[in-house]
Structure 1
Amino acid sequence: MATEHLIVESFSSGANAYQITVERDLTKFPRTIKGNEAFEKAVRGGGFPCTVVGTGCVIPKGTRLTLIPPDCSSNPNPTPVTYSWGYFGGNSFNFVPIIPSSEWTHGSGMAASSLDKDFAHRLEAKIKTRYPAFQAYVTSQLSPFETEYLTDDYNYAARITGDLNTNFSNSPPAFDLIDLSIGENIDDGTFNKTKFFAELDQLIATIPKAATYTVMLRSSFWGGHTVSSAALQEYATLHNYLFVDFSDRVDYPAYQSDYDDAGIARHWNDDGHELIAERKASKLGITTGSSASSDFVSQTDEGWSKTDDNLKLKYIENDLIKVGFLRDTGAVIGYAAFKSTNRNLVNDYQVDNALPGDPRHGTVFGDKGRQWMWKGSLYWTPGSGWQVVPGKNTNQYGFDTGGNVVEGGSLGPFYDESEVLASRIYNHPKYGQMFYSKIRPRVWAVPDEYVDIVEEGWAWLQGTSIAYFSRQIIGPGITNPQMIYQARAQELPCLYSLAPFTYVRMADANSAPWTNSYVDRFKSDFSDNQNFTKAYMTPECLVTHGEGPDSVTVGLYTPGIDRGDGVRVGLNSRFNTGQFVGVFGEWDDNASSYVNANPLVNYDNPGTYENAGYIVLGTSFSDVRSKVNALPRPDQSFDFDFTTDNHRWWNFDCRMIKENGLWKVYIGDVKTDNNVTSANGIFAAPYGAWEASGIQTIEFDMAVTGITALWLEWYKPGEENDQSKVHRKAFTGLIGDGVRRTYSISTADPNWNGIVTSVGLRATKVNEGLPITNGGHLIPYRFRKV
């Protein structure tokens, strides 16, 4: 039969990186789009045995990739795949120098705002996270090749050899990574595949190469190049080269840059350059978790007047519902109604007690701490009353507020609104009409203050559901001596709805999920202050509130949403509910009902975090149930790659800090309580609704230091602090020398059944029959079910 051997995955183990190859039957999986898709699905689903290059280790059929084979880690002479020097050759997307008397006033990949923002330098930076000594040579000397290949006019000696000799003093390096980024200047009308393939052979042969090397090609970013892009993919397949597909982003509107010159403007902006770098890095097995690879791309501002009251709200709508976003309250949802009734279900309490001197003094305006805050109210750094703004105090002692930014704005009597940096309503290629906003949220309870945090959000309609995707971008300017790098309960998102929505329901923790068995979460003994129930972990990732079982109901459902690259974010099964002031009133009154998604998240570390879910509007409780039943069930993947981000794993009684590009969990941090010093740190997965029967074994790829044993700890649905819902078993056999290894533990236990809402690792405490882990720490690389 016709076969070929292909590199299908790259992975690392310790300081080494490897490649996995598989034999492909071309009669069963031809080199066609469908054939390629079927082959990739079969490989990643464990359809073939695979071989690890350099070790001879065979990965058995039925094993899902990516994999670090435990039986390969002991090979004394592995052949690692490493990258030291990259030849990044391409066209104007790679580099264009300053063009005198034009809009192009700096040298970089065209339309990128600076050299470090173009794709080539972003890609170099991403590769350095895996291979710190890596360097890239970036050139646009291949631009003439795109046309001159056809006429034999391309000067290889000058454009490649001469160029390298000039820039490396006649001693160019041997490149082990060759990225050929071409396509936009190839004329499909005169394209000659045979000639093109022959000239590509010569081009690659001319570049000085290491003994082992990787070549990567791509499809065109612009329309009109389908023939040549298909040929580039075919060429890559024929030679076992890597190919990066951008066909889903051809002439993508969100990537068009803001230049008057049409030639410059057609090149991609910073977000587009980031997408290029992210996809290429991912193809190399280096994933950074960047959001640019997703369906949710930052948009430019279309304007939103602050003086025109008619533009106070921006609306998206379909035949069933209409949803409005408030300009003067951080683009929160301030209006949501069925078109059949036009009754606003959102509490937008209208206040009139701004401070004297405030332009709103004596007028009526929206409370900045209400509405539906779909991008979230974020908390970090516990500490009674003291905020991250030096010298300013919230005076909310007893609330342990620490740092808190609110999507709408600040607490009265300040009522400072969060700044809308950008907003746009546009047509998304997958989801249709989309509202986008980017804001700087205000610090709660101090006047006129921001910190280094930005929130972005995308919202769209699916029937009577509002789907949302948001990012919380925590900048490096967040500094405070109180930071303890520990998780806090969030309002992510939180919904202030009509006060009569006191019929609050969640799935009963003691019943099978999806069986219509519920518990009442209404807080009946409320006062004039904020009154919350205890957090409750549900087996369904759903909370609802409404006026009664047969009246209008709003649900908050957080099963995780695919961000566009196969990774689902936003999974949460921990909720909180409350009631404010009273149980009567309409949208503009002070009384309000309240629900939130209440995940534990550590926001003390700078980085980009993501969240998603659905706000479901129904004419009754059963109507919401039927709509939720039609949406995806909670994510069951349980696969966390910590080389990309921390995936909202949470930690208590210990620190989690990103150091030198790696997450480090000081799970053995000690605490002294009643004169007893012990370690009690927990590092656990985001709250979900995992079916216990689907997780038989958990694989922990990690390096541990000073630890020989931990507890595997898991939580069943129920109210927080209910110790009957907490279970654990000993996890022994760890080697605490700081070397990265893969450990596996069976979940077999009488209490491992039904639904598990979270599972993690707990440090061993005193007098519990295991070695104490005081001072120990771990570096997680990948945790997953196998």
Structure 2
Amino acid sequence: SAGEYMSYSVSSVPAAGSYSLQLSYVSGDAQAVMGVVVNGGTVQTVSAPGLSRQTGPYGQASLNVSLNAGSNTIRIQGSGQGGFNLDRFCLTGGGCSSAPSLVLGTPSCTGSSVYSVGFTAQSGATVTASAGSVQGSSVVNVPVGTNVVVTASQGSCSTQQTANSPTSCGTSTATMVGGFAEGSLSELTALAPFVPDNNQVSSWAALTPQFISNGQIKYGIHNSIGATGFWLSEDNANPKNLINASGGADFATPSTPEKWDKGRALFYSVYGTPRGSNQDIYYQGGQQTGFVGTNSDDTGWNPNMGGDRNFHSSPILFYQRKTVAGYGEVLYAQVQPYHWSMDRQLAEVKTHCWYWLEGKFLRYFVIIDNFRTDTQRKYEGREQEGIAMYVLANMYNQTIYTGAPKANQASTSITTPIQAPNNQSDTGPRLTSECWMACSNGPNTLVLFTPYNSCFKGKQFIDTGDDNYVSNAASYMDASLYTDMDNSGTTAYSGYVYVGSEANFRSWYNSSSVALRPFKFSFNNGKRQGWASVNGRFIRENGNMVFYIGDSHTDNGVTSYSAKLVSPTGSWPSSSLSTLYVNLTFSGTLNLDVSWLKPGQTDANTGAQTKQVTLTGNGSPQTYAIQMGGNGWDGTISQISLSPQNRNNPGISTLRPNWISDTNQAPN
């Protein structure tokens, strides 16, 4: 009768999917009406003829139900429309041997009352949501306060994941300072030239570019290489493209963009751990990045905007061209990169790029939305390519500036000769004092200016004489910031590419008021602030960043405690950092090395540039004023690092940085 029910727990369901529920019953009524509720969902009703046990065998009724893998509850209840007695029930068939993969990103506010959540689903799966709507690879317009259940279905197989709603969606708290910001995707998108609102990707014809120009320079992105930049030139009657966008298969030409190398162009390429090689392989989707067969190009966990090494372009999820007041024409593209060393393996990262022109500058605003969930992470930093550019081979004259900022001293050439057996050169990371690097061939110069970073790297490939933008020969420059991409999180970077001469760029720079990144870092709410670790974990735990200063590291059979926490690279006057204010939480006695690097130096210099301090912690946040000076503390400081003095016994295992600043005040 109505209101009566029996509830059963069903365990060890092998896989999510549709199963046949067979009910064995008797009923003295003309019709038996049975209600079935699975896992607290809606009532499914099945009707069957009345059947008394005295007149023959039990009656049979069946319906299909959707079960989760593992444990489920099944409730069988009366409806008041036809009574019955249940003998037993059986579950048969259905299910599947392999449910489709589904990974949800972090929910992000997109308005005061709605939020969205990105997802990565197995290729070919159909994705639905219990609230909002599915657009591309996101569920959008979900009401705040409503959790959303996302389902990926493929045949009879399905996978469900639930995203919890943000508690509220208020005003953005993220700010961009010195070309860097960290926050939620919606907060950072609000800082961009515009919030994307009209996806035009379906109208972008395959294997074609999109250009913007302003009468001085011209820039283009191409959908055969993941909407990365393939063209940058003067805007005149006979423009000379300075970007190398090929090095591709079968002698690619301008008319065969499908053959272009997906790792060349103007782009941002992301790196995390594992780092690659036979000893540090990354696995995903039944593939690995290790040296297998002819694959000797193992870059480990490496989402690449352009695509993978097998000439597959990364999927473009959203594209929009829009004229914006104060910016002019702006190009925007959202891409989910493939891993470089794999075959069409989507990474748990999305890149959002806006491009616009200001005089002879290409401006960019890039958001890296990292939602990693894999268990292979070591929570250490790696060098990024952010931004990097392949340029014409004959633009091999590579220069940086290491003198006093805005003193107009001579720049420094870092050009290195090409060497066998790879026919390449590599300058290695170079620290600068004005946060720029140039590549030139005399009449043509490109300058990469990154207010958020002062470390650059140059390379040369094959030869130095070619000026064809689809040649295997190329020069290269890279904003080589060392940062963390193992912890999930969303960061934004904004910078400049100048087309002209180094002299004209430096004249502009010396008179400009563009702010470089200040020495102020707040790790509040688990923000990383561009800091990263070496030989030890730097990991978000319970909303806080924790540095495992006591982690050991083994190299060539020798084990030591050499964990190091390093700052982003910048350009800070030593006079403004005479006292470092470091707010830490730890317990015990910490003998700490505070080391630093200056423009033109490498890691080999840190041993002679170290301040040793002893700190005592009681498990509560405390601010320590560290007086700097001596041992080369002068001029411009490019990077700070923290590490244990005693490499045999660091004394403590963990410390939690809360904030680090040049003033005795917690940064915003």
TM-score, normalised to structure 2, is: 0.68
Which residue in the other structure is 2:660 paired with? 783
| Alignment counterpart, residue 299 of structure 1, candidates 180, 196, 202 | 196
Cα distance in 1 between the residues matched to 2:469 and 2:424 = 18
Cα distance in 2 between the residues matched to 1:636 and 1:602 = 18
Structure 1 residues 687 and 515: alpha-carbon distance in aligned structure 2, compared to 1, 3 A threshold: same
- Summarize deviations over 1:191-243 as a string: whole Å, max 9, x none: xxxxxxxxxxxxxxxxxxxxxxxxxxxxxxxxxxxxxxxxxxxxxxxxxxxxx
Cα distance in 2 between the residues matched to 1:506 and 1:647 = 25
Q: Is the 8 A contact 1:605 1:657 kept in 2?
A: yes
Cα distance in 2 between the residues matched to 1:499 and 1:729 = 43
Q: How does 1:416-431 map to 2 (within 5 A)?
A: 416-431=312-327
Structure 1 residues 587 and 763: alpha-carbon distance in aligned structure 2, compared to 1, 3 A threshold: same
AA aligned opposite 2:654: H
Which residue in the other structure is 2:426 paired with? 532
- Summarize deviations over 1:52-94 as a string: whole Å, max 9, x none: xxxxxxxxxxxxxxxxxxxxxxxxxxxxxxxxxxxxxxxx966
Which residue in the other structure is 1:589 paired with? 471
| Alignment counterpart, residue 415 of structure 2, candidates 522, 525, 528 | 522
**C-alpha displacement of 1:298:** 4.3
Cα distance in 1 between the residues matched to 2:173 and 2:503 = 46
Which residue in the other structure is 1:547 paired with? 441
Which residue in the other structure is 2:496 paired with? 614
Q: Does residue 1:605 correspond to 2:502, yes or no?
A: no
Which residue in the other structure is 1:405 paired with? 303
Q: 1:493 is paired with a residue of what secondary structure?
A: strand
Cα distance in 2 between the residues matched to 1:279 and 1:307 = 32
AA aligned opposite 1:452: E
Q: Does residue 1:638 correspond to 2:666, yes or no?
A: no
| Alignment counterpart, residue 363 of structure 2, candidates 467, 485, 488 | 467
Structure 1 residues 388 and 465: alpha-carbon distance in aligned structure 2, compared to 1, 3 A threshold: farther
Cα distance in 2 between the residues matched to 1:107 and 1:589 = 47
Which residue in the other structure is 2:243 paired with? 346
Cα distance in 2 between the residues matched to 1:363 and 1:674 = 45
**C-alpha displacement of 1:447:** 1.4
Structure 1 residues 544 and 274: alpha-carbon distance in aligned structure 2, compared to 1, 3 A threshold: farther
Cα distance in 1 between the residues matched to 2:140 and 2:469 = 45
Q: How does 1:101-180 map to 2 (within 5 A)?
A: 113-116=141-144
Which residue in the other structure is 1:491 paired with? 385
Which residue in the other structure is 2:282 paired with? 387
**C-alpha displacement of 1:390:** 4.8
Which residue in the other structure is 1:742 paired with? 623
- Summarize deviations over 1:146-193 as a string: whole Å, max 9, x none: xxxxxxxxxxxxxxxxxxxxxxxxxxxxxxxxxxxxxxxxxxxxxxxx
Q: Is the 8 A contact 1:558 1:634 kept in 2?
A: no
Which residue in the other structure is 1:575 paired with? 456
Cα distance in 1 between the residues matched to 2:235 and 2:575 = 43
Cα distance in 1 between the residues matched to 2:185 and 2:167 = 9
Q: Is the 8 A contact 1:532 1:576 kept in 2?
A: yes
**C-alpha displacement of 1:625:** 2.0
- Summarize deviations over 1:498-537 as a string: whole Å, max 9, x none: 110011101136x666423222212212345543221111
Cα distance in 2 between the residues matched to 1:399 and 1:634 = 38
Which residue in the other structure is 1:130 paired with? none
AA aligned opposite 2:656: I
- By relative contact order (CA 8 Å, sep 6+), the higher-ranking structure is 2
AA aligned opposite 2:228: V
Cα distance in 2 between the residues matched to 1:526 and 1:688 = 31
Cα distance in 2 between the residues matched to 1:443 and 1:757 = 31
AA aligned opposite 1:300: D
Q: Is the 8 A contact 1:352 1:364 kept in 2?
A: no
Which residue in the other structure is 1:689 paired with? 571
Structure 1 residues 281 and 516: alpha-carbon distance in aligned structure 2, compared to 1, 3 A threshold: closer
Q: 1:593 is paired with a residue of what secondary structure?
A: strand
Q: 2:386 is paired with a residue of what secondary structure?
A: coil
**C-alpha displacement of 1:750:** 4.5
Q: Which moved more, 1:494-503 or 1:642-651?
A: 642-651
**C-alpha displacement of 1:725:** 7.8
Q: Is the 8 A contact 1:691 1:754 kept in 2?
A: yes
**C-alpha displacement of 1:719:** 4.3
**C-alpha displacement of 1:578:** 0.4
Cα distance in 1 between the residues matched to 2:174 and 2:168 = 10
Structure 1 residues 518 and 354: alpha-carbon distance in aligned structure 2, compared to 1, 3 A threshold: closer
- Summarize deviations over 1:327-370 as a string: whole Å, max 9, x none: 12111111111112411111122634499xxxx99986322111
AA aligned opposite 1:501: M
Which residue in the other structure is 1:43 paired with? none
Q: Is the 8 A contact 1:300 1:423 kept in 2?
A: no
AA aligned opposite 2:463: G
Cα distance in 1 between the residues matched to 2:433 and 2:581 = 24
Which residue in the other structure is 1:501 paired with? 395
**C-alpha displacement of 1:663:** 0.6
Q: 2:269 is paired with a residue of what secondary structure?
A: coil
- Summarize deviations over 1:596-650 as a string: whole Å, max 9, x none: 01011111111112222111111x2212322333444552521111115111102
Cα distance in 1 between the residues matched to 2:344 and 2:174 = 41
AA aligned opposite 2:349: I
**C-alpha displacement of 1:400:** 6.3
- Summarize deviations over 1:255-302 as a string: whole Å, max 9, x none: xxxxxxxxxxxxxxx9xx9995244899xxxx9823433422541343
- Summarize deviations over 1:114-141 as a string: whole Å, max 9, x none: 23478xx99xxxxxxxxxxxxxxxxxxx
Structure 1 residues 352 and 614: alpha-carbon distance in aligned structure 2, compared to 1, 3 A threshold: same
Cα distance in 1 between the residues matched to 2:659 and 2:555 = 33
Q: Is the 8 A contact 2:591 2:646 kept in 1?
A: no
Cα distance in 2 between the residues matched to 1:316 and 1:361 = 20
Structure 1 residues 312 and 727: alpha-carbon distance in aligned structure 2, compared to 1, 3 A threshold: same
**C-alpha displacement of 1:382:** 2.0
Unaligned runs of 5+ in 2: 1-110, 115-129, 134-138, 149-162, 176-180, 664-668
Structure 1 residues 734 and 505: alpha-carbon distance in aligned structure 2, compared to 1, 3 A threshold: same
Bigger proportion of residues as helix:
1
| Structure number, greater radius of gyration | 2
AA aligned opposite 1:745: I
| Alignment counterpart, residue 534 of structure 2, candidates 644, 648, 652 | 652
Cα distance in 2 between the residues matched to 1:367 and 1:404 = 16
Bigger proportion of residues as strand:
2
Q: Is the 8 A contact 1:278 1:288 kept in 2?
A: no
Cα distance in 2 between the residues matched to 1:409 and 1:443 = 7
Q: 1:380 is paired with a residue of what secondary structure?
A: coil
Q: 1:492 is paired with a residue of what secondary structure?
A: strand
Cα distance in 1 between the residues matched to 2:144 and 2:215 = 45
Q: Does residue 1:661 correspond to 2:661, yes or no?
A: no
**C-alpha displacement of 1:476:** 3.5
Which residue in the other structure is 2:72 paired with? none
Which residue in the other structure is 1:709 paired with? 591
Q: Is the 8 A contact 2:588 2:652 kept in 1?
A: yes
| Alignment counterpart, residue 722 of structure 1, candidates 594, 599, 604 | 604
Cα distance in 1 between the residues matched to 2:262 and 2:608 = 38
Q: Is the 8 A contact 2:213 2:235 kept in 1?
A: no
Cα distance in 1 between the residues matched to 2:220 and 2:479 = 21
AA aligned opposite 1:318: N
Q: Is the 8 A contact 1:321 1:338 kept in 2?
A: yes
| Alignment counterpart, residue 641 of structure 2, candidates 743, 756, 760 | 760
AA aligned opposite 1:671: H
Q: 2:231 is paired with a residue of what secondary structure?
A: strand
Q: Does residue 1:439 correspond to 2:331, yes or no?
A: no
Q: Does residue 1:627 correspond to 2:508, yes or no?
A: yes
